[in-house]
Structure 1
Amino acid sequence: MLSATFFQCRLPMPTLKRLLPLALLVLLSACSSEPVLSPITSRLPERVELSDVPFFPQNAFQSAPAAMASMLLQRGVNTDPGLLKDRVYIVGRDDMRPAMVATAEAHDMLVYPLQPTMDALLGEVAAGNPVLVLQNIGMDMWPEWHYAVVVGYDLHKQTLTLRSGGSRRLQSDFAAFEKTWKSSERWAVLTLPASLLPASAQRPVWLKAAAELKEAGRADAAQRAYRTAAERWPTQTTAQ
């Protein structure tokens, strides 16, 4: 079960929280191995950065509302972390992922889970889609769960660019990121308008996300998602 761990330190807690992601990534990069990428990924553009993705500095233990606000505002939803924090940051709740998904759905966004691979993540960024990820920036025995938004990569340097903590352009090499990401079972999602398919669109995954939109009471958005599926896969019947 995911849990947040509070650390005691002489530094003020907001300062510690801003420095912790960078410090952990630097440390991890020294002792991690690079993930193996598929030949298809090697044919992506060498460098991509989605500079239009908004950035909100994250306050102590509130990476979730800041990351979600970045994702939603990039899709045209007028919001900010202050408007979202009561939805996604609930004191005492171990796993905020269900609240994150519900918050996106409440704004008519379809939440599309990615395959848990670096290839899938890079492919979506190359297609112009920022990716919301969950990392453990603490230790295995004392996890510190942190949400960030992947907005760029450099295949030559083997680095990612993230909206994370207090940094608008946090640089993490692939190996260090992989180390922090795998503890969350490589959780990564897109938030998409119901009319926009991801680069890695798979019909069963899309239809399941559309059904979850409907279950969340967003019937109109769900219908748009079903129509999008019918247009993309016209020879297959779409149950609604």
Structure 2
Amino acid sequence: MIENVPFHPQEAFQCGPASLAGVLNYWGVQVTPEEIAKDIYSPSAGGTLNLDMMLYSEKKGMKANQYKGSMDDIKTKIDLGYPIIVLVDLGLLVYQQNHFMVVVGYDENGIIANSGKDRLKPIATKNFIKTWERTNFWSLWITPQR
């Protein structure tokens, strides 16, 4: 588990800026969720777009890759000290409710994430995969430029 990823409790519809701020802060970029939201929150979308999360990270001098992740990939990156932003769909049936969260660890039961108002929230593998699969396992890996 990566213990020192900053946590920002999410305000309404601000999971993208809260997640992004935590990962950027982890890498030493000083920015608040509010500053991020002013720049990339989309009122018409009722949230933050995936592409804008990546572009904002790059604007702040980071390398950002969005890709289709896997549990093995998450475990490898966590072991190497990289928190990963994932997009899950918490909606029911045909109702979509996308949500960004930061995976900071894992154990034999599932993942550990900073999600919404919960810091270090354990999520069972089965539940996580079910909601993550609905977004085609969308993941965002942010690292410093080297």
Same fold (TM over 0.5): yes
Counterpart of 1:111, as a letter, is: A
- Kindly indicate whether residue 8 of structure 2 is the aligned counterpart of residue 82 of structure 1: no
Q: Which has the higher strand share?
A: 2
Out of 112, 118, 129, which is 1:161 matched to? 112
Offset at 1:169?
Answer: 1.2
Q: Which residue of 1 aligns with 2:21?
A: 69
Q: Which residue of 2 aligns with 1:183?
A: 134
Counterparts of 1:129 and 1:152 in 2: how far apart (Å)? Answer: 10
Counterpart of 1:75, as a letter, is: W
Out of 88, 111, 115, which is 2:64 matched to? 111
> Aligned runs of 1:1-240 on 2, under 5 Å?
49-93=1-45, 96-155=49-108, 158-195=109-146
Structure 1 unaligned residues grouped into runs of 5+ = 1-48, 196-240
C-alpha contact (below 8 Å) 1:114/1:121 kept by paired residues: no
Offset at 1:114?
Answer: 4.3
Q: How many residues align?
A: 145
Q: Which has the higher helix share?
A: 1
C-alpha contact (below 8 Å) 1:132/1:188 kept by paired residues: yes
C-alpha contact (below 8 Å) 1:110/1:191 kept by paired residues: yes
Q: CA RMSD in A?
A: 1.3
C-alpha contact (below 8 Å) 1:163/1:170 kept by paired residues: yes
Give the alignment's TM-score, normalised by structure 1.
0.58
Kindly, what percent of the aligned residue pairs are identical? Answer: 29
Q: What secondary structure is seen at the aligned counterpart in 1 of 2:134?
A: helix
Counterpart of 1:126, as a letter, is: D
Counterparts of 2:101 and 2:117 in 1: how far apart (Å)? Answer: 11
Counterparts of 1:170 and 1:88 in 2: how far apart (Å)? Answer: 26
Offset at 1:115?
Answer: 4.3
Counterparts of 1:127 and 1:88 in 2: how far apart (Å)? Answer: 29
Offset at 1:194?
Answer: 1.3
C-alpha contact (below 8 Å) 1:64/1:88 kept by paired residues: no
Deviations 1:202-222 (CA, angstroms, capped at 9, x unpaired): xxxxxxxxxxxxxxxxxxxxx
Counterparts of 1:73 and 1:119 in 2: how far apart (Å)? Answer: 25
Q: What secondary structure is seen at the aligned counterpart in 2 of 1:184?
A: coil
Q: Which runs of 4+ in 1 moved over 2 A?
A: 112-116
**Bigger Rg, which one:** 1
Give the alignment's TM-score, normalised by structure 2.
0.94
C-alpha contact (below 8 Å) 1:87/1:99 kept by paired residues: no
Q: Which residue of 2 aligns with 1:228?
A: none
Greater RCO between the two (CA within 8 Å, min separation 6)? 2
Q: Which residue of 2 aligns with 1:209?
A: none
